[in-house]
Amino acid sequence: MNIFFNKDDGWLKEEIPRNWPDEEIHLLDDHEFKSVLESCMKNLPAKWNAALQLKYLEEKKGEVICQELEITASNFWQILHRAKLQLRKCLDINRFRK
């Protein structure tokens, strides 16, 4: 079951990403944001969390990540896509909709 898109691959109305408010400080310098981000990442499936951390925090190349996680390249990109969608939704609900 896809929780973001309709049968025609368009966004479900309630899932369309909303613009976040402009922040005067860099989000990663905001302790509240970092706390919510860490919580949201912990709620992701283990491989999704690992893929995000390896790609964006450790800046490893896709082929290296695929070897470490024992997944195919197409699976890796699908995992990243789904993880980013889920992470965005979690951040939107827990940080920006307050």
Tens digit of pLDDT per residue, the chain (98 long)? 457 666 766 766 666 666 666 666 677 788 888 899 999 999 999 999 999 999 998 999 999 999 999 999 999 999 999 999 899 889 888 887 75
Predicted confidence at residue 1, as pLDDT, reads 44
Predicted confidence at residue 43, as pLDDT, reads 95
DSSP 36-65: HHHHHHHTS-HHHHHHHIIIIIS---HHHH
Predicted confidence at residue 9, as pLDDT, reads 63
> The whole model's pTM is what?
0.73
Q: In sequence order, which residues have a C-beta less than 8 Å from that of residue 36 and are 6 or more positions away? A: 90, 91, 94, 95
Burial, 40: exposed, middle or buried (Cβ in 10 Å; 0-12, 13-18, 19+)? buried
Buried b (16+ CB within 10 A) or exposed e, 10-39: eeeeebeeeeeeeeeeeeeeeeebeebbee
Predicted confidence at residue 17, as pLDDT, reads 62
